[in-house]
Amino acid sequence: MENQCDITSPQPAKGLPSEMKTVVHDTLQQNIVIAPHVVFDRICSKIAGPPPLESQVKGYMRRWRDRNRDDSMDPPSIGDASDSSPFRIGLTSYWLLEQYIAVQRDPRYTTILHVDSTHNMVRQRYNVFILGISDACGHSFPVMYYCAYQCRAEDVTWFLAYIKRVMLRLIVIPFAPQFIMTDADKAQHLYTHKFGL
């Protein structure tokens, strides 16, 4: 299956020509998880002349994805816990978000989101928020963890904006729980209503 396009074609040159690279770039811009054999077939159908080896396309795509990772980030800026640079960290995973989306999409379930916070649980006295959902038996399942130095209204707003932004950017589905249950903390209650939850 190395060279399907033209069995009699001469051995291709080392590396992909620029027009083939353009096809690969355009295809990866549309769908970054596309399989190399699909891109290889696309190159064979669009470009005349001797085709590349499928292994060349696969290698080029692997190197392109390594250089253009969509999960690459700038160095983290977690703040120094001052008012001008607050300390905030949000932590979740694709699997946790996908589990939440499965519940949110299922019409048989009501999405009840729980926001629980712990105060002064560690020596540094940082607040830890746990955003989760529960099933009909009352078992709670985490969706996201968030740590902040303070529990101010701006921190709760950042926390909710973070989960909405992550859901839209990574899963392309809006974060839309039907109900939300918070602690007796005024900042949580006030800003969940203000945030449209």
**pLDDT tens, residue by residue, 79-107:** 777 777 788 888 888 888 888 888 888 88
Q: Is residue 81 part of a domain?
A: no
Query: Residue 71: what pLDDT?
Result: 57
- In a shared domain, residues 124 and 167: yes
Query: Residue 76: what pLDDT?
Result: 63
Neighbours of 162 (CB within 10 A): 17
- In a shared domain, residues 29 and 95: no
State residue 144 phi and psi, 5-degree precision. -155, 150
Q: Structural domain of residue 12, as residue ranges?
A: 1-72
**Residue that terminates a domain, selected from 72, 99, 134:** 72
Query: Residue 189: what pLDDT?
Result: 57
- In a shared domain, residues 153 and 65: no
Query: Residue 103: what pLDDT?
Result: 86
- In a shared domain, residues 41 and 92: no
Q: Is residue 77 part of a domain?
A: no
Query: Residue 7: what pLDDT?
Result: 47
- In a shared domain, residues 97 and 186: yes
Number of domain units in the chain: 2
pLDDT along the chain (197 residues), means of 10: 50 76 86 81 88 90 79 62 79 86 86 76 75 79 85 78 82 82 64 56
- In a shared domain, residues 64 and 17: yes
Measured between alpha carbons, how far is 41 from 37 in angstroms, rounded to an integer?
A: 6
Paired sense of beta strands 112-118 and 140-148, if any: unpaired
